Copies of this chain bind each other. A is one copy, B any other.
Amino acid sequence: MAEQTPALLVVSAHAGDFVWRAGGAIAAAAMRGEKATVVCVSYGERGESASQWLAGKSLDEIKDVRREEATAAAEALGAEIEFLDMGDYPLVESQEAVAKLIDVYRRVQPTVVLTHPLDDPYNGDHPAAARMALQARVLAQAIGVANSDGTFPSKEDIIGAPPVFFFEPHQPEQCGFKPNVLLDITDAFPRKQAAMECLPAQKHMWKYYTDLAERRGVQVKRNAGPNLGLPHETMGEAYERYYPQVTGELR
């Protein structure tokens, strides 16, 4: 097979989601020297910033804070970050946002895509972002679909069919999230921790997501089998692969 340059694309509904849910995978990619790009469809300015609204901040001030925090977190992980600023609560699906995402896909040429799962009874913005991420991924493959500036793509601009992984939602069972990939993030966890600490308003989440990484790490060990000699303190993240895995070897 022709080799593609590895490139990770993460589509995040709000400015913080990618840190808690996929920080390990992002850091691991960056530590392998791969390019990682995070796209935040909104800042999460209305739905995930209650303390700042209570403190009397304005909408623009809140967006600024969230952009700065997310930028610092992405840097800690080793990723680039972009903001589409399409509004949240609700994040309304639009052809405008999809068109921007098509451009991102064609520019980034991702070999792996991460986004939210398609069901979330607690937060409709997450599935909305995921639906747009999936739609843009398909449209970006078609040479007949124009870029957002009206030009048509060249044969090099269109993308392939990168695998998509859904990262873990806050209440996985209620979202119908069934992990079929357990990622060992032991080596990447210090970077994830550093990224979490860039989000001081959600300090209570630091422990929560550290505990979750331990829990998923236990499952990494259990599913890998004891013979593999994984260390006691293995840390993990859970993912759900959306399309079938293509491989030349079962393992």
The residue in chain B whose Cβ has the minimal distance to the Cβ of A134 is B121
Q: Which of the residues B123, B138, B212, B246 comes within 8 Å of A224, measured between beta carbons?
A: B246
Q: Could you say how many copies of this chain the assembly holds? A: 6
B90 touches A98 (CB 8 A): yes
The residue in chain B whose Cβ has the minimal distance to the Cβ of A184 is B248
Q: Report A130 CB to chain B, min CB distance, Å.
A: 12
Give the one of A172, A219, A229 with max B CB within 10 A: A219
What B residues does A159 contact at CB under 8 A?
225, 227
B184 touches A173 (CB 8 A): no
Given contacts A90-B98, A144-B89, A163-B251, contact A179 B244 (CB under 8 A): yes
A47 CA to B142 CA in the complex, in Å?
A: 6
Give the one of A50, A89, A122, A224 with max B CB within 10 A: A224
B183 touches A143 (CB 8 A): no
Does A25 sit within 8 A of B, measured CB to CB?
yes
Give the one of A134, A162, A171 with max B CB within 10 A: A171
Q: Which of the residues B142, B160, B223 comes within 8 Å of A228, measured between beta carbons?
A: B160
Q: Which of A134-152 contact B (CB under 8 A)?
A: 134-135, 138-139, 141-145, 152
Does A30 sit within 8 A of B, measured CB to CB?
no
A89 touches B53 (CB 8 A): no
What B residues does A251 contact at CB under 8 A?
6, 111-112, 163
A1 touches B160 (CB 8 A): no
B162 touches A225 (CB 8 A): yes
The residue in chain B whose Cβ has the minimal distance to the Cβ of A139 is B89
Q: Which of the residues B25, B45, B112, B182 comes within 8 Å of A244, measured between beta carbons?
A: B182
Given contacts A172-B173, A183-B250, 17 further A-B pairs with CB under 8 A are A2-B228, A25-B250, A28-B249, A47-B142, A53-B144, A54-B155, A112-B250, A121-B242, A174-B179, A174-B243, A180-B244, A181-B245, A181-B250, A182-B247, A183-B248, A211-B211, A211-B215
Chain A residues in the interface with B (C-beta under 8 A): 1-2, 4, 6, 8, 25, 28-29, 32, 45-47, 49-50, 53-54, 62, 89-90, 92, 95, 98, 111-112, 114, 121-124, 134-135, 138-139, 141-145, 152, 155, 159-163, 165, 170-174, 176-184, 208, 211-212, 214-215, 218-220, 222-230, 238-239, 241-251
